[in-house]
Amino acid sequence: MSPLECDSSPRSNDLSRGPVDRREPDPNYQIIAQSADDVQNIENAPALSMGPYLLNSGQVRLLTTISIYSLRGESREQVRLLYMNSAALRVWQEMGRSPKIIGAQVRPPRTALLTFGVPFSK
């Protein structure tokens, strides 16, 4: 083929094959806001209350699936933000907590600290 001829074979960056699926991944973490009053009760700290609950309820195996991160909030209504995956949220609700869900996202922010469970793995 001469340099002036056009090669019509498909290429990996060929846009004529149709649209690329660029869907955002589904949110994995629910964002829970805890108020100043909430954090006064030590039972509202997953790092302190969730482990004993799992042990006493015979659900220790869930420790390998639970992931909770936290960040300091910026108001009295949101003193602490918890980022809980679905397993953690389910257990939290089983424990009788009524979480105030304010959003969801694919993963916790990079500045959030692992509070309880296993790290985000993706």
Per DSSP, 17 falls in state G
pLDDT computed for residue 26 by the predictor: 80
Q: Which domains does the chain have, with CATH numbers?
A: 27-117 (3.30.70)
The pTM is what?
A: 0.78
pLDDT computed for residue 120 by the predictor: 74
What contacts 24+ positions apart, CB below 8 Å, involve 23-28? 24/106, 25/106, 26/106, 27/104, 27/105, 27/106, 28/85, 28/86, 28/105, 28/106, 28/107, 28/120
**Which residue's structure tokens are 């039972």?**
43
Tell me the pLDDT tens digit for each residue of 85-117. 999 999 999 999 999 999 999 999 999 999 999
Contact (CB, 8 A) for 106 and 27: yes
Helix (H), strand (E) at residue 10? none
Tell me the pLDDT tens digit for each residue of 36-83. 999 999 999 999 999 999 999 999 999 999 999 999 999 999 999 999
* pLDDT above 50 for 3: no
pLDDT computed for residue 51 by the predictor: 96
Estimate the share of the chain in helix, then strand, then coil, as percent rounded to the nearest 5: 30, 25, 45
